[in-house]
């Protein structure tokens, strides 16, 4: 049976394309019963999403995807079922918002040098009131015809080592987990297979994540192939982590998976939502 939980999604509050309310309505149509809105480094969409969730009968899990740095790599930790009024969490997220603003200016400067002037103002305009991300720069560069697709823009201009990439020191893993816990949330390692780590580096990451108080990891993320679900499940058993499942939905046309079409978790794992179901 398909999971009816989706513990990782984005809205216009960061780099998703739907308003929080629209996202919740689409999730309801897709048969999801519990939905986490987990925008990048912001909880600005949660109140609106929750209001619509109440009307549609969905349970909205307040969440945030926190940007961290580990061994010079950007690692994402989703805080699930957080109290968005936590002063500790919000102070941490403000730090990351400032880092994002400064990084976006620097990205704009580099892209200007590379022959794409005004990228900063264009990306900021696309972000609107939402958190600025590389996705907004990618959409702008796509719009002006620099490449044929968002992933091609990332590949040619925005990923590590490319002209628009700005190396960034995000939060420490331990700090991010402490903020999430201060907000009563469950710290969940996002999309473990997307970091392109070798098996031994992934075990090192999980060792540090667990030692810092991390409690869960995503086993199903987007269209994870079956062998990655199995290897993530093996790691969750080894490190005694709760299991999460999330689409990482951003937009209907670019998403890896449709909302609500996620494979089931292996039956022996403890789902992260058992934490708040009781």
Residue numbers at the binding site for ligand AMP (CB under 6 A) = 15, 40, 67, 133-135, 150-151, 154, 250
Q: How far is the CB of 41 from ligand AMP (least distance, A)?
A: 8
Please state whether beta strands 171-172 and 186-189 pair in parallel, antiparallel, or not at all (unpaired).
unpaired
Counting contacts by CB under 5 A, is residue 41 touching Mn ion?
Answer: no
Tokens of 110: 């580099």
Least distance from ligand AMP to the Cβ atom of residue 231, Å = 21
Cα separation, 274 vs 140, in Å, equals 41
Nearest residue to Mn ion, using CB?
Answer: 76
For tokens 């969750």, name the residue: 236
Q: Of 42 and 133, which CB lies nearer to ligand AMP in the complex structure? A: 133
Q: Which of 3, 6, 7, 15 contacts Mn ion by CB under 5 A?
A: 15
**Residue 226 carries which DSSP code?**
H
Which residue of 26, 76, 134, 140 would you call a contact of Mn ion, by CB under 5 A?
76
CB of 240 to ligand AMP, least distance (A): 27
Q: How far is the CB of 117 from Mn ion (least distance, A)?
A: 25
Q: Which two tokens stand for residue 180?
A: 């999430």
Nearby residues of 72 by Cβ (< 8 Å), 6 or more positions away = 167
Degrees to nearest 5, angle at CA 84 with 79 and 87: 105
| Distance in Å, CB of 142 to ligand AMP, minimum | 10
Q: What whole-number distance in Å separates Cα of residue 159 and Cα of residue 165? A: 6
Around Cβ 165, how many Cβ atoms within 10 Å? 16
How many residues contact Mn ion, by CB under 5 A?
5
Tell me whether residue 30 or residue 190 sits nearer to Mn ion (CB atom): 190
**Residue with Cβ nearer ligand AMP (116 or 154):** 154
If the CB atoms of residues 54 and 245 are measured against Mn ion, the closer one turns out to be 245
For residues 40 and 141, what is the distance between their CA atoms, to the nearest angstrom? 21
Stretch that binds Mn ion, among 120-128, 172-180, 184-192, 195-203 (CB under 5 A): 184-192
3-state helix, strand, coil in the chain (%, to 5): 45, 15, 40
Name the residues that contact Mn ion, by CB under 5 A: 15, 65, 76, 190, 248
């Amino acid at each position: 049976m398909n999971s009816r939980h989706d513990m990782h999604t984005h809205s216009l509050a960061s780099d998703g394309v739907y308003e929080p309310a629209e996202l919740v309505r689409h999730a309801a149509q897709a048969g999801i019963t519990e939905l986490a809105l987990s925008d990048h480094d912001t909880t600005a969409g949660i109140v609106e999403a929750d209001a619509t969730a109440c009307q549609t009968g969905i349970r909205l899990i307040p969440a945030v995807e926190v940007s961290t740095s580990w061994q010079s790599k950007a690692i994402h930790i989703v805080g699930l079922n957080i109290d968005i009024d936590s002063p500790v969490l919000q102070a941490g997220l403000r730090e990351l918002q400032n880092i994002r603003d400064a990084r976006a200016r620097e990205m704009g400067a580099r892209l200007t040098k590379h022959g794409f002037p005004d990228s900063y103002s264009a990306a900021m305009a696309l972000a609107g009131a939402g958190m600025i991300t590389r996705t907004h720069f990618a959409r702008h560069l796509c719009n002006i015809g620099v490449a044929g697709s968002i992933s091609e823009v990332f590949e040619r201009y925005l990923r590590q080592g490319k002209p628009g990439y700005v190396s960034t020191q995000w939060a420490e893993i331990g700090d991010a987990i402490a903020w999430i816990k201060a907000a009563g949330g469950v710290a969940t390692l996002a999309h473990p297979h997307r970091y392109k780590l070798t098996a031994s580096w992934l075990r090192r990451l999980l060792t540090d994540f667990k030692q810092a108080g991390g409690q869960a990891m995503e086993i199903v993320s987007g269209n994870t192939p079956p062998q990655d679900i199995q290897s993530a499940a093996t790691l969750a058993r080894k490190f005694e982590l709760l299991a999460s499942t999330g689409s990482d939905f951003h937009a209907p046309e670019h998403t890896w998976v449709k909302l609500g079409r996620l494979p089931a978790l292996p039956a022996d794992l403890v789902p992260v939502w058992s934490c708040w179901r009781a």
